Amino acid sequence: MIRFPDDFVWGSSTSGPQSEGRLPDDGKGDNTWDYWFRQAPEKFHNQVGPEVTSTFYEHYETDLDYLLETGHTAFRTSIQWSRLIPDGDGEVNPKAVDFYRKVFEGVKARGIELLVNLYHFDLPMALELKGGWVERSTVLAYERYARLCFEMFGDLVDRWITFNEPIVPVECGYFYQLHYPATVDPKAGIQVAYHTQLASSLAVKACHELIPDSKIGIVLNLTPAYPRSQHPADVKAARIAELFQAKSFLDPSVKGAYPQELIDLIRMHDLTPAYQAEDLEVIRENCVDYLGVNYYQPLRVAAPRYAANPEAPFFPSVYFDHYEMPGRKMNPHRGWEIYERGVYDIAQNLKKNYGNIEWLLTENGMGVEGEEKFRKNGQIQDDYRIEFIKGHLLELHRAIQEGANCKGYLVWTFIDCWSWLNSYKNRYGLVELDLTDQSRRIKKSGLWFKQLSQNNGF
């Protein structure tokens, strides 16, 4: 029997834009995803957009019962900025206040620890039209939004989160064209990254001022970068890949300062963002209380085979090539490598290099396309998901035994949810969502997860 510490929590993560849906009279404003889907529905898998998602807005009362049926002792979701403040920086939507208070009260009434994220890739479109995160005004609007959330919901939330995976909108919005504004503009991307970190630090400051007994953190996808070999060129490639992918937010969030090597690289490419001297003091003095860590697959890199084109726009990948390790273990339904050891390596890094900061594994899960083919007698028999979770928990348990300061495990996700350009292509939930009638059915993994939670191990 693998047992976890007595205070360890079990649950799942989701987000507002991926689960709530939208009704004509709910007062919600557009975010970038609402707008982009109307402009280019062909970009979204099967042309399924964010209008409906998992209808949590309509069905939250019964959906919260599924938390108990699947053994949750913790639950993470997010507030949609564009639902609470439709234009991003104006009047508060009273229907949103009522909705979120009822949801949060429902979670607490069921004896479940509540983690609430302020931002999950969903900028109000009104702010995007003014320049979005490139503009400092968005930082100030976010700070106001965060303060309002702390004032309105601080009595209900156990742990706050400033941003989910903030490197993702930078990479996908300004390099790889997978998030709006879907452009290639490295200078803007670096500015967005900097403004996001500043906004996070300002939210930490506000939280500590307004609700000093609450904990506030940031959720980062700390994908370890593994070199192809121990050749110095491969090792350097992995180090720089991790600088951009992980340390760009990890170091300022936990240590209060950016790595000097990253600063030097950005300066060398003439991409230093606009900033004010007092910003660096804000970042230095307002570090997070804990971390959320998301982990799905490793990042394997090698030294680049070819020199970069000096006339092409800057991409961090000029310093490394992606590398497919021979014989790697795969999720054949998603095309991602499964490498459970990554959880252990993340834990060791946080213990050795980041003061053994308190953290939770806030996302870990297995996406499967065409999951309905595994249905037997009306239930998805997702033994593959159970084995995936077990494998990662073995490595997490090993790390905790060696002193890792991890306080919980949250699977992605609760009920099958909408996932950006992939829509519902890949399913991750403990609970199946039928898109034809929005009915829910617990998968085999959901019943197993309840046993896991009740036994505090397996």
- Calculate the alpha carbon distances from 298 to 94, 227, 437 in Å: 43, 11, 37
Average pLDDT over residues 353-377: 97
pTM of the model: 0.96
Q: Between the CA of residue 61 and those of 58, 106, 118, 168, 416, what are the distances in Å?
A: 8, 7, 22, 31, 17
Report phi then psi at 117, rounded to 5: -100, 140
3-state helix, strand, coil in the chain (%, to 5): 45, 15, 40
The 3 state secondary structure assigned to 141-183 is HHHHHHHHHHHHHCCCCCEEEEEECCHHHHHHHHCCCCCCCCC
Token pair, residue 388, equals: 């995936």
- The catalytic residue positions are 165, 363
Please check whether residue 114 is in contact with residue 149, taking contact to mean a CB–CB distance below 8 angstroms: no
Only one residue has tokens 């996908």, namely 172
The residues pairing with 100 across neighbouring beta strands, listed in sequence order, are none
Reported confidence tier of residue 175, pLDDT bands at 50, 70, 90? very high
Q: Is 335 left (phi over 0), alpha (psi -120 to 50) or beta?
A: left
Per-residue pLDDT tens digits for 245-280: 999 999 999 999 999 999 999 999 999 999 999 999
Q: Look-up: residue for tokens 């807005």?
A: 57
Is the bond into 223 cis (omega within 30 degrees of 0)? no
CA dist., res. 128 & res. 137, Å (int): 11
- Residue-wise pLDDT for 41-56, tens only, equals 999 999 999 999 999 9
Q: With beta carbons less than 8 A apart as the criterion, state whether 319 and 234 touch.
A: no
- The class (CATH top level) of 9-455 is alpha beta
Give the rounded distance of the alpha carbon of 414 from its chain centre: 14
Q: What is the mean pLDDT of residues 365-375?
A: 95
- Give the C-alpha separation, 287 to 170, whole Å: 21
At residue 215, the pLDDT reads 98
Contact by Cβ (8 Å): 311, 319 = no
- % of the chain with per-residue pLDDT over 90: 99
- Mean of per-residue pLDDT scores for the chain: 97
Residue 254 and residue 287 in contact, taking contact as beta carbons nearer than 8 Å: yes
